[in-house]
Amino acid sequence: MGNFYFDESIHPKAKFTLGALVYSERSLDDLISSALRDGGLTPGVEEFKSGLRMDRNPQQVVARNFLTDVFRANCRLGVVLAPDCPRHVLGAEALKGLNKILDTCCFGSESHDVWFDEGILASRRAGERAARELFPDGTCKFHFEQDSVRVFGLQVADLIAHTCATLLLAELGLVNKIVKAGENSGYHPNSGVELSFELWAGLRYHFFAAPPPPFETWKSELDYSIDVASRGLHIADSCTENVKTAGQARFGSMYVGCIH
């Protein structure tokens, strides 16, 4: 049975909320439990929270790096964009985004558990009612109002939602941070790169997307891109026009060719 984990990152000043649908063919509980322990946190008691100040929480930094490794080794990703207000609009849009992924992508599992963090929908009952309308065949078992301290996969969804939101903020011109490339980056470790580039490079292979176009149709290496918009991206009609435009520009297609 496959597992979808959904959490959000809210940005009122930019007028959007971004939700991440993180998928794994198996439960991530054991892997994340180990990652949290390696980061010095106690699974089931403490959790990774992307909203914390990392410069004041060294254990969170270590846990973030381990959770990133878990994501890259095991997961695929869908992105949902909704307005920041009213907050519960995101829940309905998330279900639409999930429906789009299930209709357009192939899976090794025929059924899925779907885990939503607390506060995504107005209530558990509201979530169950909305889910019945879109998923009447019962192939998905929904778990609304879940505690991310206990459902470990939600901590990965929290991390990836925050990461994708940072990419969108950069696309909107609201984030422009330079960081060192670091070891094993393909660049000189001390060279400066945009944070958004570094984050994008770690996510670009993991989106639900159509296959790349046949090699013989390429006009250049830049044509080695995958279409995310038709499968792994859902943007609510109620988003502002600049959020819609930025969302399509950042996530609608993904270049997967050489970047070094």
Distances (CA, A) of 205 to 85, 160, 197, 208: 31, 13, 14, 9
- Cβ burial, residue 193 (10 Å; 0-12/13-18/19+): middle
Between 196 and 208, where is the model more confident?
A: 208
Reported confidence tier of residue 4, pLDDT bands at 50, 70, 90: very high
Least confident segment among 52-56, 103-107, 164-168 = 52-56
pTM: 0.92
Reported confidence tier of residue 52, pLDDT bands at 50, 70, 90: low
Distance, CA of 214 to CA of 101 (rounded, Å): 23
Rounded to an integer, the average pLDDT of 40-67 is 83
- For the record, the structure tokens of 58 come out as 């060294």
Report the sign of the C-alpha dihedral through residues 207, 24, 144, 135, in that order: positive
Question: In this predicted model, what pLDDT tens digit does every residue of 199-235 receive, in sequence order?
Answer: 999 999 999 999 988 888 887 777 899 999 999 999 9
Question: What pLDDT score does 121 carry?
Answer: 92
Check whether 187 has a pLDDT greater than 60.
no
Domains and CATH numbers, the chain: 2-255 (3.30.420.10)
- For the record, the structure tokens of 34 come out as 């180990």
- Cβ burial, residue 34 (10 Å; 0-12/13-18/19+): middle
The residue ranges of DSSP E strands in 87-229, in sequence order, are 112-117, 140-146, 178-180, 192-194, 225-227
Distances (CA, A) of 233 to 60, 63, 96, 100, 209: 29, 27, 10, 8, 9
Question: In this predicted model, what pLDDT tens digit does every residue of 135-149 receive, in sequence order?
Answer: 988 889 999 999 999
Which residue reads 């403490």 in tokens? 46
Question: In this predicted model, what pLDDT tens digit does every residue of 72-112 receive, in sequence order?
Answer: 999 999 999 999 999 889 999 999 999 999 999 999 999 99
Whether 244 and 250 have beta carbons less than 8 Å apart is answered as no
Name beta bridge partners: 115. Answer: 5, 143
Distance, CA of 65 to CA of 252 (rounded, Å): 26
